[in-house]
Structure 1
């Protein structure tokens, strides 16, 4: 939803009488809040559980997206984008904790890889699909489409999303029980953890700064994600759209290269990392979390190679050709590898703080992206 409005930058600039850079703030403010607000939601889910927070997040986001479709001013649109990001952000923070709890250690990298892949595919997936919407239906239908998606998510959450673990208690909701009273009762929030909420609870993820292994992994992920993903998503309307005179739909199609690179990268990163760890354990009798890091070299090198191919081929091109997109796919391939492996490495280093690690990684990654986006556009 944050990146989905990128194909409409030019339309927003004309409609609200602002510059292209100012229009980009509609995305960058969401990136900032998607990085910060999961810290708040992580504490709430620890006390009240995940199910009700997730249902609230999609319903609240639906209302904000309806507001976005009806906005007529830049300030109003900025407010709806900020609120949408803040309300829809819980899964970004708690996702790593959910995956860690539901899978065995020998499958952790593979399952975490799919979760990381879904979060990364959101950024190119939004402008890819919304490019068609802008071209054929208009800017307002970006937000109506998002609102419909949120409604369908809320409907799916009620029967399929059980509260599996919170404060050591199990939710009594049985999805097979169709009793109206049971369903209504399951939708009412209840406190599962009696501990009082304190200020330090919101700051606890940042205590991971004192753990060098996790901090270095988070910084590495933030930098490579910014240059191996965000830079392509933000620059695509300018580097391809303006240079080659592409419309919103054609510009959106360029994001397929990001998606292809990420999908191929995930086939190598998660399964290969788990296989590598199993092989080492059979050979040595034990493994260490740092053993996973050998495979990140592939990721770092392909990100560098992909950026160089993209930049050089884009500069040389006078008409559209596929070679810059090949560079984008190579860099996205490397970005997916290092994102999955570094996340698995950090959680292996401290399994008890898996949810906090997810919040910390997300905050560092998106805060860095928030700072860099205006610079990319100015360049």
Structure 2
């Protein structure tokens, strides 16, 4: 049996066990382009197939789309250091100020349902361009408002137009990369979604303190305009509907349309089918699929009680405990950022390495069974068990939940035990640990759900984002009450217990996931 070499020195899956059968005459070309043959999905021979693009081109677009996706939560959170200024300038209370974040979270989530059907007709690129440009316009408009109602209105429209990268971003990642890369690459996308609400207050803290709350929205508009030009210059279309089998003729007209310089400013229609109401609610069907619903709930619960809670309530809890200025409040988010970045270093590459290791073990086991169990003619019996099991990724989930709970409890205990007016770093240490665990959970749960239904990546992605946004929207309305009435320790213990229950949702998928998938 022959093996093919794999990038970065990893062991390859044996050639006899490829998921897609490829004629011998095509081995050389596929191996030349990709350095291996065990590719899922199998790319066509077309040079404009996104799977055949050079790595640098894929990674640049991955970064643009991921940074775009971060802008939804970043844009919602960038005004967090300005809550006190809202009280003084716009006449709202400190309890009402966080609603400017939660209302944006809500509309961002609901609008996700509209963008995927549109992108399936005109492509991903035009939707990204529309998103970045119009979100920049409404962010700029918000900077010139003089009333609470007007600010909320511009924030709603800004959230609607920034949402596409949260809706179709996972589809773009799926269209660019193979299965053996997906944990790492999807992890980068979800990492940016996670750190978006962390970066927002971090970059705006001292800006708001020195230049006022409007400066944060001016900055946001400039960032979104920069994303527009990044997509325009460096973001080609990834929607590809002409993937033929290797060795089969590909569409030369498709190549011409994508390589001509006019493709940068012309609008191409991929589908002319009429819109149907059911199409917009198609992602909601995922609620009937446990291997999507349970990991999504587990991720959303943990995301809300770590990332969202710590992000929104840092001004209130840290401000009350330590009497920090807006700039100093912004600095507290450095700990959250460090935890998320370190978590992704383990989650992405770690989950990919683990599922590849499990796949190699299955191949070795199949070889042993196949050689021992031959028929009378001496031919090997066919083996139908798949090499790749999505459930393998979930092995990293339980450690993530445990780490998140430990960090969350450290955060709550150290806040309650703090000396008034005297800052100490221990709550930040707890938040960094919690976000490390959250990133393990995020990458594993999102990638697992998408791998379970790859043909419906867009719907799965939208469902995950929708559930996360809706759960996060409701949370600020009761989190403040819980911490006020129960105190930091008891409230953190309550929500840590809910995170613990979420862990059992992923364990259920580890056990019954293959059976549940076979029913749909």
Q: Same fold (TM over 0.5)?
A: yes
Secondary structure of 1:20's counterpart equals: coil
Question: Partners in 2 of 1:200 and 1:93 — Cα distance?
Answer: 17
Secondary structure of 2:95's counterpart equals: helix
Contact 1:167 1:193 (C-alpha < 8 Å) held by counterparts: no
Contact 1:266 1:337 (C-alpha < 8 Å) held by counterparts: yes
CA root-mean-square deviation? 1.5
Contact 1:49 1:166 (C-alpha < 8 Å) held by counterparts: no
Aligned residues: 372
Question: Partners in 2 of 1:25 and 1:93 — Cα distance?
Answer: 23
The match for 2:288 among 210, 216, 224 is 210
Q: What does residue 223 of structure 2 align with?
A: 149
Question: Partners in 2 of 1:272 and 1:150 — Cα distance?
Answer: 32
Contact 1:92 1:359 (C-alpha < 8 Å) held by counterparts: yes
Once the 2 structures are TM-superposed, how far is the Cα of residue 24 of structure 1 from its aligned partner? 1.2
Once the 2 structures are TM-superposed, how far is the Cα of residue 118 of structure 1 from its aligned partner? 0.7
The match for 1:340 among 424, 443, 449 is 443
**Is residue 294 of structure 1 aligned with residue 383 of structure 2?**
no
**Is residue 58 of structure 1 aligned with residue 138 of structure 2?**
no
Deviation per CA, 1:25-51: give whole Å up to 9, x if none. Answer: 111011111211111011111111111
Question: Partners in 2 of 1:111 and 1:89 — Cα distance?
Answer: 20
Deviation per CA, 1:149-175: give whole Å up to 9, x if none. Answer: 122112222111111215546782548
Question: Partners in 1 of 2:340 and 2:405 — Cα distance?
Answer: 15
**Is residue 116 of structure 1 aligned with residue 201 of structure 2?**
no
96-105 or 283-292: bigger deviation: 283-292
Structure 2 residue runs of 5 or longer lacking an equivalent are 1-74, 243-253, 364-386, 484-520
Q: What does residue 383 of structure 2 align with?
A: none
Matches within 5 A, 1:216-295: 216-285=294-363, 286-295=387-396
Q: What does residue 367 of structure 1 align with?
A: 470
Question: Partners in 2 of 1:24 and 1:170 — Cα distance?
Answer: 49
Q: What does residue 172 of structure 1 align with?
A: 257
Q: Which runs of 4+ in 1 moved over 6 A?
A: none
Question: Partners in 2 of 1:101 and 1:186 — Cα distance?
Answer: 19
The structure whose residues are more often helix, as a share, is 1
Secondary structure of 1:320's counterpart equals: coil
Cα distance 1:95–1:69, how it changes in 2: closer, same or farther (>3 A)? same
Secondary structure of 1:72's counterpart equals: coil
Once the 2 structures are TM-superposed, how far is the Cα of residue 251 of structure 1 from its aligned partner? 0.4
Cα distance 1:171–1:13, how it changes in 2: closer, same or farther (>3 A)? farther
Pair member with larger Rg: 2
Structure 1 residue runs of 5 or longer lacking an equivalent are none
Deviation per CA, 1:127-153: give whole Å up to 9, x if none. Answer: 000102101221111111111112211
Contact 2:167 2:462 (C-alpha < 8 Å) held by counterparts: yes
TM-score, with length taken from structure 2: 0.70
Deviation per CA, 1:18-77: give whole Å up to 9, x if none. Answer: 112222111101111121111101111111111111111111111111111100011100
Q: What does residue 417 of structure 2 align with?
A: 316
RCO higher in structure (CA 8 A, sep ≥6)? 1
